[in-house]
Amino acid sequence: MYQILNDKPEKVATLSGIDFIYPDAKGGVAALQGVNLDINEGEFVCVLGPSGCGKSTLLKIIAGFLKPSCGEARMGNEIIKGPDWHRGVMFQDPTLYPWLNVQDNIAFGLKMRKFPQSQIKRITDQYIELVGLKGFEKSKPYELSGGMKQRASLARTLVNKPTMLLMDEPFGALDALTRQNMQDLVREIWMKTGNTVLLITHDVDEALALATRIIVMSRSPGRILKEFAAEFTYRISGSEHEMVRYKPEYMELREEILKIISSQNERLKLSQHNPKILLERK
C-alpha cells in the first residue's frame, strides 16, 4: 500500500550537474559540486549533511531563489527560472509578516493570486483549522510562540496547494515536544495531500521519522554521498507509533547514516582548511 507511486515514478523535479559558487573577493566559495537528484511525485525526501555543506543552497536553487552556476534545475519539463507558488518554501526562522495578523498572513498567497474573497476566506479557515490555530486568527505573529509561528508558516505555504513543499530545518528552533508535534502534523498533511516534500534537517531521527528517501551530503563543496530508502514514517503513523525507534532495523540505518556524517567530520578535523565548518551543530 505504501509503494503505489513507485511503480511508475513521476518526476517532479530534476537537478542535473548542479554546481553553485557564491561569489566572494577570492573568486568564490564552491557550495555545491555536481549534484544530480530526481525527486519523484509523492516522495518525502530528507537531506542530511554537515553544517555548511550546501543544504540550504540546494533548497534555494530548487525554490528558484538562486540560479545554479552550472547545470540545470527543472520542475517537470521546465527550467526553474525563479520562485513561484508551485514550490512552497518554509524556513527555520518563520518569515511571517508582522504587519499582517495570522489570518491575513495565511491568506497572503491567495490574495496575491487574486482569488475571490469568499474563496480566500473558506480556504484560509480550512487551513487554520488543519494546523490547529483556531482562535488565533486575529493575533499578530509576534504574539505567537515559536511552534505556533511555524504552524502559521506551514498553513501559509499550504493554502496555495503547491506541488512541492521545500522546508529548511523548519523545526530546528523548537523544543523536542513541539518538534515532534510538528513532525506528526507534517506527516499527516503529506499523507493526506500526497504532496512532494523536500525537508532539510540536521537531526537523523527527524529524517528517519519522516522520509521515504534520505540523502546524505558531503561537506563543502556539497555533493550527494549516499541515498537511503526509508519507510519508518508509515510505521510511526500506523500502529507501531514511537516503538519504531527501538527496532533493530531503525537503529541499524541510524548508525549507518551517523557513521557517514561523522566520517565527514573526521576528515574535516584532519584537514581543517575551512574553519567555518568546524562550528558543527550537535
Ligand X SMILES: Nc1ncnc2c1ncn2[C@@H]1O[C@H](COP(=O)(O)OP(=O)(O)OP(=O)(O)O)[C@@H](O)[C@H]1O
Amino acid sitting at position 155:
A
Decide: helix, strand or coil at residue 209: helix
Give the binding range for another protein (CB under 8 A) out of 39-47, 92-100, 227-235, 240-248: 92-100
Nearer to Mg ion, 18 or 107 (CB): 18
C-alpha cell at 190: 503529506
Site residues for another protein, window 159-188 (CB under 8 A)?
160
Position 81 contacts another protein (CB under 8 A): no
Shortest gap between Cβ of 148 and another protein (angstroms)?
15
User: Whole-angstrom Cα distance, residue 149 to residue 79?
Assistant: 32
Position 109 contacts another protein (CB under 8 A): yes
Main-chain dihedrals φ then ψ at residue 15, nearest 5 degrees: -110, 130
22: partner contacted, choices another protein, Mg ion, ligand X, none (Cβ within 5-8 A by kind)? ligand X
User: Whole-angstrom Cα distance, residue 107 to residue 128?
Assistant: 10
Beta bridge partners of 193: none
Q: Answer yes or no: are the C-beta atoms of 172 and 140 closer than 8 Å.
A: no
93: partner contacted, choices Mg ion, ligand X, another protein, none (Cβ within 5-8 A by kind)? another protein
Site residues for ligand X, window 214-243 (CB under 6 A)?
220
Measured at the CA of 212, the angle between CA 263 and CA 210, to 5 degrees, comes to 85
Shortest gap between Cβ of 12 and another protein (angstroms)?
16
Q: Which of 22, 56, 276 is nearest to 166 (CA)?
A: 56
Position 28 contacts another protein (CB under 8 A): no
Position 88 contacts another protein (CB under 8 A): yes
Position 54 contacts ligand X (CB under 6 A): yes
Nearer to ligand X, 7 or 24 (CB): 24
Position 204 contacts ligand X (CB under 6 A): no
Decide: helix, strand or coil at residue 199: strand
Nearer to another protein, 158 or 236 (CB): 158
Which residues in 119-157 are b (16+ Cβ under 10 Å) and which e?
Answer: ebeebbeebbebbebeebeeebbeebeebbbbbbbbbbb
Nearer to ligand X, 23 or 135 (CB): 23
Position 70 contacts another protein (CB under 8 A): no
282 CB contacts (<8 Å, ≥6 apart)? none
Position 52 contacts ligand X (CB under 6 A): yes
Question: Kind of pairing, strands 164-168 and 87-90?
Answer: parallel
Residue of 13, 31, 75, 165 interacting with ligand X (CB under 6 A): 31
Residue of 14, 40, 56, 105 interacting with Mg ion (CB under 5 A): 56
Shortest gap between Cβ of 99 and another protein (angstroms)?
4
Position 55 contacts ligand X (CB under 6 A): yes
